[in-house]
Amino acid sequence: MNRRVLNQSWFSLFLVCFGAVTFSCSRYTPPASERIPPESFVPAYDLRVDLDPKTHSLEGVAGITIPAAETVRFHLAPNLEILRVDARGAELRSGPYREEGFGEDEGSWTIDWRPEVATPELIVAWKGQLYQDPSAGELPGEIHNRKMNRTIGEEGVYLTGAWYPVVSTELRSEYSLSVNRPDNMVIVANGAKAPSDGSGRDLWNSHYPVGGIVLVGGDHEIHRDSWNGIDIELHLKPSQAVQAEGLTNAVKTYLDRYQPLLGPLPTTQYRVVDNFFSSGFAFPGFTLLSSAVIDMGKRSQTTHGYIDHEFVHSWFGNAVQVDHKGGNWCEALTSHCTNHYGHVLDGYEDGARTYRRNAMHFFSRIGEDGDKPLSTFGRKDGAGRTIGYNKGAVVFYMLAQEMGTDEFFQALRTMTYRDTGKAVSWERIEEHMENSAGRPMDWFFDQWVYSAGAPDLNAESAHWNASENEVVVELREVSEFRTDVPVRMTYQDRSETVVSRLDTGSDRIRLANIVNPPSSVVLDPDYDVFRRIDPEDLIPTTNSTRKGERLFVIGNPHEAETFSPYVSIFERSYDEEHIVRIEDLDKPIDDWDNAAVLIVGSAVTGIAARSVLGETDSRLVFSEKGFILDETEYSSDAHSVLATMRHPRLPGCGVTVVTGNSKKSLPRAMNIPFYPNSIVVFENGTPIHRLDLEAVHEIPVIRLE
């Protein structure tokens, strides 16, 4: 497509003069048969933008090449002012006029025109001020500040959505962009940076058709490197220069790791950009990470789910885009490839097992109202993040197991090759998987993607029939799912795992050719089948302590200021009338049958706390000197602990303790919800030991002659 870049002289002239643009060609209105079908046409944006962070303002002009239509609608943030509207290849008849917006923070404009060519160009000049307080949307325990969408300030630039005139169309678009360089600021757009034209401005072009143009910037230094043909840039604050080498090595590692699995990186340039508010956002060509994540150093560079997760979005979500009418699949696929399968690629199968286990425990805590099909994630009133990320990741794992890991990744490489720049649905993914597997996979997608729920694999009993050489495991419920179930059989001197098919409508698992009876069996010991966990077997975590009908908070009033950030994490899950704050620490508590319990600070040694902890399965002993965990004493001022025990009176609920030997030893309050462990010991706020109170549902095998 031949796209014009608006030059500065034309831009200046356009702002001074306004009127109909005359053309030497005769009028031409193409008949419907000659018009380019929308599904085969890629609109093009030519933008020239000037930013002024000191005044929070921007001024711009856009040339938008679009299919011929009698009416054109475009969207612009309501606090931006339209200066001019003109056209090339169309006669303006009326407009622009304002109509009801299509979003709560975006306005909709309409113009009527008479197209003269098949692809006329709409030209819009606009200006205005955009500013949001970055701190307004910062919440403890939240990794993204989702209130931020459009702001220009000296602390940084972040522009998404209708910061420029967005034509109302579901088509992906190409773009070219010219933007000034504000003082002390580096600007990045979601595309490839083009060579300089000598104007002192930055030029950007899209790698492939995209759903929107994103512009960000900050007071950064650029650290450059390259790896196998990919240009790498880090846009960091001066104080973050110490992280440059680690970040660069992380990008190189992930390039080497994922290109063989997913296909060539869909860009030739990749940037990691520091952000001035909480975020972990992936855009075509760059990842926008909050300063807190970058400052984590090696932990965010190597821990799965941080940089590797955003990096793999380069393929899924950015290059191969989501058809949101059919649900968001990209978070599930990206989570599988990084948060889960990254452990496998490390050779650490236990890490992958832990991810699957936690995903099932998270899922088992949501109520029936929240149990919705995976395919509804991202849609209005659809499934939540527990299903969209965690269940979805395990579903892709099971799909790879069903069809073969090599065939699974071959399907992903094919999807990258064929569908970059397109919006893809679950149905399209199913098509790729079936082509790679060489067989129908509709039954798998029907039960795991398009349907809600998960099987209940809790066993009631097991017996060995000597005459049949068969072990039969009776299930608590009739299965509505078809799946392969691993069963670990334990003998006196060994154990082995066999796999048996559980069919829809069955309430038992049969294991044939078992010559010698095992002493016990465990169903799915490594969490290979996504399933619902019995409430009594759920691993207690801080999430458990936000699931009671009420919340009891036991704390010393003299420590209220220190522990209020921790208490607020739990209290915000309850209405005020359902919160009971206990400050009399020398009186036992009796009426906590239906209440989650939070104990903070020195209150842990009081009678009130001991009356609760004495009924739990706590492995901790607290004293005035510190605490003891499994015979290891932690008495230094640097030590603190976050521990959640099973609620002895309310299955699935929890009792949590947050305490430390000094104020400086405590972890960051905002990180509390992200620990999926039962017990975490900290040294100066950094985890040094983790422990999970995992229950193993082992069933004895009865011998029948």
The tens digit of pLDDT for each residue in 557-602 reads: 999 999 999 999 999 999 999 999 999 999 999 899 999 999 999 9
Is residue 86 within a helix (H) or strand (E), and if so which, with residue range? strand 80-88
CA distance 388 to 334: 11
CA distance 697 to 705: 25
Enter the DSSP assignment of 210.
B
CA distance 388 to 330: 9
pLDDT at residue 1, rounded to an integer: 37
Enter the DSSP assignment of 339.
I
Q: What is the CATH number of domain 321-448?
A: 1.10.390
CA distance 524 to 401: 14
| 97 CB-near residues (< 8 Å, 6+ apart) | 109, 110, 111
Enter the DSSP assignment of 393.
H
- Domain 1-218, CATH class in plain words: mainly beta
CA distance 681 to 629: 9
Closest by Cα among 250, 236, 331, 317 to 284: 317
pLDDT at residue 35, rounded to an integer: 33
Do 633 and 602 touch, CB atoms closer than 8 A? no
Q: 234 is written with which tokens? A: 């880090």
CA distance 663 to 79: 45
Q: 573 is written with which tokens? A: 């899950």
CA distance 424 to 440: 19
Residue 33: CB atoms within 10 A of its CB come to 5
CA distance 196 to 204: 10
Q: 702 is written with which tokens? A: 């009865």
pLDDT at residue 170, rounded to an integer: 66
pLDDT at residue 2, rounded to an integer: 36
CA distance 332 to 374: 9
Q: Kindly report whether the global pTM for this prediction surpasses the value 0.95.
A: no
- Provide the sign of the torsion angle of the four alpha carbons 89, 93, 97, 102, taken in this order: negative
pLDDT at residue 143, rounded to an integer: 67
- Extract the residue ranges of the chain whose pLDDT is less than 70: 1-40, 100-106, 137-143, 169-170
